[in-house]
Structure 1
Amino acid sequence: MATSGDLEKAAGVLRAGGLVAFPTETVYGLGANAEDPAAVARVFQAKGRPSDHPLIVHIGGPEQLGDWVEDVPATARLLAGRFWPGALTLVLRRGTRVPREATGGLETVAVRVPDHPVALALLSAFGGGVAAPSANRFGSVSPTTADHVRAELGDAVDFVLDGGPCEVGVESTIVDVTGDVPSVLRPGGVTREDLEAVLGRPLAVHSTSRVRVPGQHPSHYAPRARVVLVEPEQVVAEARLAQESGHRVGVLLPSAFAGVPVRAHAVVEVPRSMDAYARELYGSLRELDRRGCDLVVASLPEEEGLGLAIANRLRRAAGPRRSG
């Protein structure tokens, strides 16, 4: 686990224009000084991330929001006051402090306050904003432990802060508050139901939007194995057919079928609790890769609560892969 000496070293790396991987409650981030365009460019290079895909600027507290955005509308103040620190990212008009390199060239910026003691301690020690996507290669499974980061990015990261396993396990919810009507651009660790309870109105959830944000690429959060989605009652039969066709099949077995014999190379039983499923999802996909599966059969959970975010990640994991 990270020590005070580790935190000071990490803050020094950020000041020098280096990259630091750090834990949040959602996933591990790959951070750079948000005000240093050259350092931000290194993040894109390390991940192999297209330069027009914006990053999230992590700040130390809600009171700092006005330092990074052009204005803070009432809806943003309400959501920040209720959910920060936490797994909620707000999209607002970019302030002059934020270089366009961090926003993918957009005039909007995504901002959040992470709910993790190590992340908050790093932000305090550094004294500025940290621009960070997830600490993995672009499009692949997000890391939820420091070992995941080291295994995937290696020497591309100047320093890794170990804060233990991430508690939430899927990325933050992104809400666009630039217009009159807020909307969810990416479901995540804060549920739509909780947001609606605070706002007192229903929220639309968009798979694409006029505002580019992290996690909207058709193929994202994907293991090396190809992911096939079927109805829950079809998972066992689909796995058997694929195994008989010569695939090394991995299965995310729905909790309703726990204990049912499955003909497959590897089986991971999905937790009944959506909190536990979200926390374990990326680790399970990595485990199936580690065990040599070339195809993963899974089904979508009910799309309520955290199930909405899990379904979003699985759909993108099953999306069309980039060629080359």
Structure 2
Amino acid sequence: MDTLLLKDDENGLKYSAKLIKNGEIVAFPTETVYGLGADATNESAVRKIFQAKGRPSDNPLIVHLHDFSEAVKYTSYIPQIAFKVAEKFCPGPITLVLPKNDKIPLVTSGGLDTVGIRIPLHPSARKLIELCGKPVSAPSANTSGYPSPTSAMHVMRDMNGKIPAIVDGGESLYGVESTVICFENKNSIRILRPGFITREDLLSVCDNVIIDPAVTEGIKDSSQKVMSPGMKYKHYSPSADIALVEGNIQKFTEFAENHRGEGIYYLIFDEDIDSIKLENCIPYGADSIEQAHLIFAKLRELDEINAKRVYVRVPEKTGVGLAVYNRLIRASGFEVIRL
């Protein structure tokens, strides 16, 4: 199969919509990362996503809609608090886990009776969904377990020959996947996967916002079903071994000087460049927003330079920084060195 690289224009989107309506899968840009889209109601099309990615079948897919008003077609119940969240943050980088109805097959929901609903902000993603006339299930368009793609070229490296087409919409705006939330009750929100919309943001619509322990600790029981992608399996990981290093710049510098060798690299903050006088240092942003935008590209870069072992300065664990930390700790297999 020759994978086409399509322009992010009317012709490219119409051709992509035609492919999806005919049961094929297409990679397309969103404001978070590139998605691998299929008709969410077409079981055979959805299975092509799992096959192309090598994704475990119990890892649920997020369903993308053109407008939140369409959510009633694919859910059995929407609590009032969900409408408040949607009114403030949709379209945008947030996914709402809701009870599904029979229009969403179990293969799409990973065998669950819930479905994640998202209204992307990216204009081309919304136009594509509108042209399809169908809900579009779309995980990140990468090989399962590998860093998510934030450019069409990242997708091409992973999916060339596996899918019919990729829409090239340039670099993703935010760089990490959407925040995924569910509703404990009418007065409580639980964050299952952190993203660009933070706990602090959600407190503006709900007084009780809980961060699920799996965000920082992982799932202890491998047989446990999860409501969100990114919770259960090792994710976002390059071929290099990743370890997070927690400590101030002085301690990190001392640690790095004692852990040098061929193929060893260090992911550091931009401000650390003048402090750490070592080779193989790669900055990954000056603040949490920059780090979110760059982290997957930097993790992919490590494979391009044949890194074997990588020590990463731990980002902040609040705001958008929590999303960066979540991706890194999963990439490391929860290996944290505390100095």
Taking structure 2 as the reference length, the TM-score comes to 0.89
Residue 203 of structure 1 is matched in structure 2 by 210
What amino acid is aligned across from residue 206 of structure 1 in structure 2?
P
| Structure 1 segment 65-84 matched on structure 2, within 5 A | 65-84=71-90
1:229 aligns with 2:258: no
Change (3 A) 1:206 1:65: farther
What amino acid is aligned across from residue 235 of structure 1 in structure 2?
F
Q: CA deviation at 1:199?
A: 1.3
What amino acid is aligned across from residue 207 of structure 2 in structure 1?
G
State how far apart, in whole Å, the 2-side matches of 1:182 and 1:206 are: 14
Range with bigger deviation, 147-156 or 229-238: 229-238
Aligned partner of 1:175 among 177, 181, 197: 181
Q: CA deviation at 1:299?
A: 2.0
Contact 1:218 1:320 in 2 (8 A): no
Q: CA deviation at 1:292?
A: 1.3
Aligned partner of 1:139 among 120, 145, 153: 145
State how far apart, in whole Å, the 1-side matches of 2:334 and 2:213 are: 19
1:188 aligns with 2:203: no
Residue 129 of structure 1 is matched in structure 2 by 135
1:239 aligns with 2:256: yes
Contact 2:147 2:237 in 1 (8 A): yes
Residue 3 of structure 2 is matched in structure 1 by none
State how far apart, in whole Å, the 2-side matches of 1:219 and 1:202 are: 25
Runs of 4+ in 1 over 6 A off after TM superposition: none
State how far apart, in whole Å, the 1-side matches of 2:12 and 2:270 are: 40
Residues 254-275 of structure 1 deviation map (CA, whole Å, 9 limit, x = unaligned):
24422224434x3222322211
Q: Secondary structure at the match of 1:176?
A: strand
State how far apart, in whole Å, the 1-side matches of 2:265 and 2:85 are: 39
Residue 58 of structure 2 is matched in structure 1 by 52
What amino acid is aligned across from residue 48 of structure 2 in structure 1?
R
1:283 aligns with 2:288: no
Residue 37 of structure 1 is matched in structure 2 by 43
Residue 68 of structure 2 is matched in structure 1 by 62
Taking structure 1 as the reference length, the TM-score comes to 0.93
Structure 2 segments unaligned to the other structure (5+ residues): 1-6
Contact 2:180 2:192 in 1 (8 A): yes
Change (3 A) 1:99 1:218: closer
Q: Secondary structure at the match of 1:183?
A: strand
Contact 1:52 1:104 in 2 (8 A): yes
Residue 24 of structure 1 is matched in structure 2 by 30
Structure 1 segments unaligned to the other structure (5+ residues): none
State how far apart, in whole Å, the 1-side matches of 2:329 and 2:44 are: 34
State how far apart, in whole Å, the 2-side matches of 1:211 and 1:68 are: 20
What amino acid is aligned across from residue 41 of structure 1 in structure 2?
R
Q: CA deviation at 1:210?
A: 5.9
Identity of aligned residues (%): 37
State how far apart, in whole Å, the 2-side matches of 1:203 and 1:36 are: 34
Comparing both structures, which one devotes a greater share of its residues to strand? 2
Q: Secondary structure at the match of 2:275?
A: coil
Q: Secondary structure at the match of 1:147?
A: helix
Contact 2:191 2:209 in 1 (8 A): no
Contact 1:219 1:316 in 2 (8 A): yes
Q: CA deviation at 1:304?
A: 1.2
Q: Secondary structure at the match of 2:157?
A: helix
Q: CA deviation at 1:204?
A: 3.0
State how far apart, in whole Å, the 1-side matches of 2:207 and 2:235 are: 32
Change (3 A) 1:217 1:237: farther
1:308 aligns with 2:322: yes
Residues 121-147 of structure 1 deviation map (CA, whole Å, 9 limit, x = unaligned):
101111111101100111110000000
State how far apart, in whole Å, the 2-side matches of 1:235 and 1:219 are: 25
1:164 aligns with 2:181: no
Q: CA deviation at 1:157?
A: 1.5
Q: Secondary structure at the match of 1:166?
A: coil
Residue 103 of structure 1 is matched in structure 2 by 109
State how far apart, in whole Å, the 2-side matches of 1:178 and 1:302 are: 27
Q: Secondary structure at the match of 1:76?
A: helix
Contact 2:98 2:116 in 1 (8 A): yes
Q: CA deviation at 1:178?
A: 5.9
State how far apart, in whole Å, the 1-side matches of 2:184 and 2:162 are: 34
